[in-house]
């Protein structure tokens, strides 16, 4: 794995070195002895621009090192050359980083671009719902309840990767329904949230707070 990560990080430079070596071999011995080196050089250089270094981000994201993850993303100088599924992940990750900085307008634009690019992609399956949920959260930050409801409903339809995300989505829908004074729907979403038995402290606390009011609602 370390060797693969090293190759991905320095793929372009290795490709250029191999290209220079292939040219030297070609000059002194002929094309066919240099062919394999040419091929390795082309694969490395083209792979750098079409695939990028996004595989390296996983470790940084798992460690919560957003600065390190951003450095990897900033190393992509020509995102338009990335193949479409990889470009979708690129913009989604850029949106996530913008969101951590509370730059909600930029985050929304980037994540929407990522969702649009990733529609129907096998790489984005399972993460599209999570991205839509984040878009819904962003809309709530801007008090755009109508847009938030649309995104969160889409997230629930597409499917969310874990119970904590599902609970968060249902809890936000409960809040939106309360704001719309659709109390029966609010209670239904609240029941769904509790049935998921979330363990995230923030969600558990929100459930406790909302429980004080939900039983008083008509409907």
* Domain-located, residue 73: no
* Domain-located, residue 183: yes
**SS3 state of residue 38:** helix
Q: Which residues, in sequence order, are CB contacts of 126 under 8 Å at separation 6+?
A: 159, 161
* Domain-located, residue 195: yes
Q: What is the CB-side half-sphere exposure of residue 174 using CA atoms within 13 A?
A: 24
Least confident of 28-32, 53-57, 125-129, 188-192: 125-129
Render pLDDT for 9-20 as a digit per residue (tens, 0 to 9): 999 999 999 999
One-letter-per-residue 3-state SS of 44-89: HHHHHHHHCCHHHHHHHHHCCCHHHHHHHHHCCCCHHHCCHHHHHH
In a shared domain, residues 151 and 181: no
Determine the structural domain holding residue 192 and report its residue range.
165-219
Determine the average pLDDT of the residues in 164-177: 95
Report the CATH number at residue 90.
1.25.40.10
In a shared domain, residues 181 and 121: no
Going 104 to 108 to 114 to 118, the CA torsion angle's sign is: positive
Least confident of 72-76, 114-118, 120-124, 129-133: 120-124
């Amino acid at each position: 794995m370390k060797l693969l990560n090293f190759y991905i990080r320095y793929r372009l430079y290795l490709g250029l070195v191999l290209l220079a070596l292939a040219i030297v071999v070609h000059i002194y011995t002929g094309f066919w002895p240099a062919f394999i080196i040419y091929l390795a050089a082309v694969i490395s250089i083209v792979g750098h621009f079409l695939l990028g270094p996004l595989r390296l981000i996983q470790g940084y994201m798992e460690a919560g090192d957003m600065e390190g993850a951003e450095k990897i993303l900033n190393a992509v100088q020509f995102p338009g050359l990335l193949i479409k599924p990889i470009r979708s992940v690129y913009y989604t990750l850029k949106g996530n980083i913008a969101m951590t900085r509370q730059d909600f307008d930029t985050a929304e634009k980037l994540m929407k671009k990522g969702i649009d690019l990733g529609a129907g992609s096998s790489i984005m399956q399972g993460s599209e719902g999570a991205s839509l949920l984040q878009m819904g959260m962003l809309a709530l930050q801007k008090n755009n309840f109508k847009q938030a409801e649309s995104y969160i409903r889409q997230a629930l339809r597409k499917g969310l990767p874990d119970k904590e995300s599902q609970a968060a989505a249902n809890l936000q829908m409960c809040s939106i329904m309360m704001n719309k004074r659709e109390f029966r729907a609010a209670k239904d979403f609240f029941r769904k949230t509790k049935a998921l038995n979330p363990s995230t402290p923030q969600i558990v606390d929100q459930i406790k707070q909302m429980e004080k009011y939900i039983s008083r609602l008509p409907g």
